[in-house]
Amino acid sequence: MGEHSVVYGYPAIAVPIMSLRMRAWAVPVRNGRPGTLRALGYYGPLAGAPDQFGGVLKAVEVAREFAGYPDQEFDIVTRSDFPAGRGLGSSAAASGAVIRAIVDAAGVQAGHDDIVAMTNSAEVVTHGHPSGLDAVTICGDDPVRFVNGTMTSIDVRMPAYLVIADSGIAGSTKEAVDAVRREYERDYDRVHDILERLGDLAAHSADDLRDGGLNSLGRRMNRAHALLSELHISHPKADAMVEQARRSGAVGAKMTGGGLGGCIIALAADLSSARTIRHDLLALGVPAVWIHPLNQLDVEVDRELSNNPSVGNTRFNTPDSEGAGDVRNTADDRDISGARTSDARNTVEERGAL
């Protein structure tokens, strides 16, 4: 909750999705050749990677500087459980995972705030004007309330489920943020009112999560989707998916992330309802649907769902790890002769989340 309005200083709610992972491997290069990148179908020189990997290149740069090895080359591999460009925080997750892998390979300790700051610097390259929410959320374990760079964890007391569905249409957060900014400058009063209401919905959603206000949270999600549609950043496919989720029993449903495609989220009262919504969305032809327990303490259910993803006939184009090197913990002191692997949890945020 709080997509786009968070950029203007209003509250937002974000939820890390534990079952969706971004992994990165960093293998130090020892023979003087340039480093390489294997990610999203690209395999080639790191320095020559397409523009879409600008955030990853920045992540490599800041991580090397932090670790004290600004000139060290690395072979980098990333692999994701979820597609890019869907409003699920994939760019922040990739940057965060790469940063952790390089810092680990150097044997250097990096605190939570260090990782967040480095990840956000990479997000600036990717999105131009990030709110900072993605970077904060992928580095944490709990749902958070985020306002102007300040994060507060939310103690969720709602045994409900989020159904996350991929439209199959890649959206551009940067393009969506720029479009809202242009509209904000052109029609200030109208857009300011929409953003203010989105922020208010997000703020009260945090209370719903703490108090177990399932129905009120669902109503706020429905209102938020309508307001985001007024900003012209939803997509007809996402709108159809939202309507289907509601018909299938969702308490509430909305787009998530930057918009212009991407994913939707639906709130289900129980696991049975979540599975019905998932079934009907897959029948609609969406490429993939995931179920996530809102109550992070529901470990057994989360493990079950993680081991049983519901993906249609689409296989996401994720790189295999061939050529990633032997992922071993072999570094001694500051000798970075070994490879390290690091995970960064993805988020339904800002730009998304609830």
Task: Give the per-residue pLDDT at 87.
Answer: 66
Q: Taking Cα atoms as reference points, which of 57, 180, 77, 63 lies closest to residue 125?
A: 57
Task: Provide the domain count of the chain.
Answer: 2
pLDDT tens track of the chain, all 354 residues?
Answer: 998 998 899 999 988 877 778 889 999 998 889 999 998 889 999 999 998 899 999 999 999 999 999 999 999 999 887 777 676 778 888 999 999 999 999 999 998 889 989 998 998 887 676 666 777 777 777 788 888 878 788 888 899 999 999 999 987 878 888 999 999 999 999 999 999 999 999 999 999 999 999 999 999 999 999 999 999 999 999 999 999 999 999 999 999 988 898 899 999 999 999 999 999 999 999 999 999 898 754 444 444 445 454 544 332 333 333 333 222 222 222 334 344 445 444 333 322 233
pTM for the full predicted model: 0.72
In a domain, 144, yes or no: no
Q: Whole-angstrom Cα distance, residue 75 to residue 71?
A: 13
In a domain, 209, yes or no: yes
**In sequence order, what E strands does the chain have?**
12-28, 36-39, 42-45, 74-80, 144-147, 150-153, 161-166, 252-256, 263-268, 288-293, 310-311, 340-348
In a domain, 353, yes or no: no
Same structural domain, 88 and 30: yes
Same structural domain, 82 and 160: no
| CATH for 128 | 3.30.230.10
Residue 55 structure tokens: 């955030």
Same structural domain, 301 and 181: yes
In a domain, 200, yes or no: yes
Same structural domain, 110 and 188: no
Same structural domain, 301 and 340: no
Q: Are 264 and 257 in contact (CB under 8 A)?
A: no
In a domain, 151, yes or no: no
| CATH for 260 | 3.30.70.890
Q: Taking Cα atoms as reference points, which of 263, 228, 327 lies closest to residue 6?
A: 228
Same structural domain, 214 and 333: no
- Number of helices followed by number of strands (H, E) in the chain: 10, 12
Q: Taking Cα atoms as reference points, which of 244, 251, 205, 178 lies closest to residue 352?
A: 205
CA distances from 263 to 117, 143, 171, 252 (A): 26, 18, 9, 15
Task: Give the per-residue pLDDT at 308.
Answer: 52
Q: Whole-angstrom Cα distance, residue 268 to residue 278?
A: 10
In a domain, 121, yes or no: yes
Same structural domain, 239 and 210: yes
Same structural domain, 168 and 304: yes
Same structural domain, 256 and 333: no
Q: Taking Cα atoms as reference points, which of 264, 312, 262 lies closest to residue 284?
A: 312
Same structural domain, 112 and 207: no
Tell me which DSSP letter residue 38 carries. E
Q: Whole-angstrom Cα distance, residue 9 to residue 132?
A: 11
Q: Whole-angstrom Cα distance, residue 211 to residue 175?
A: 36
Same structural domain, 200 and 90: no
Task: Give the per-residue pLDDT at 350.
Answer: 27
Name the average pLDDT for the chain. 81
CA distances from 350 to 2, 13, 98, 102, 218 (A): 6, 7, 21, 26, 18
The DSSP string of 10-25 is --EEEEEEEEEEEEEE
Task: Give the per-residue pLDDT at 14.
Answer: 85
In a domain, 354, yes or no: no
The residue with tokens 């965060």 is 96
Same structural domain, 277 and 198: yes
Q: Whole-angstrom Cα distance, residue 81 to residue 31?
A: 32
Nearest-5° angle of CA 258, CA 264, CA 270? 140
**H helical segments located in 68-213:** 90-105, 112-127, 133-138, 173-186, 188-211
In a domain, 178, yes or no: yes
Phi, psi (degrees; rounded to nearest 5) at 203: -60, -45
Q: In terms of residue numbers, what domain contains 174?
A: 5-11+156-311
Q: Whole-angstrom Cα distance, residue 86 to residue 236?
A: 15
Task: Give the per-residue pLDDT at 35.
Answer: 94
| CA 184 to chain CA mean position, Å | 25
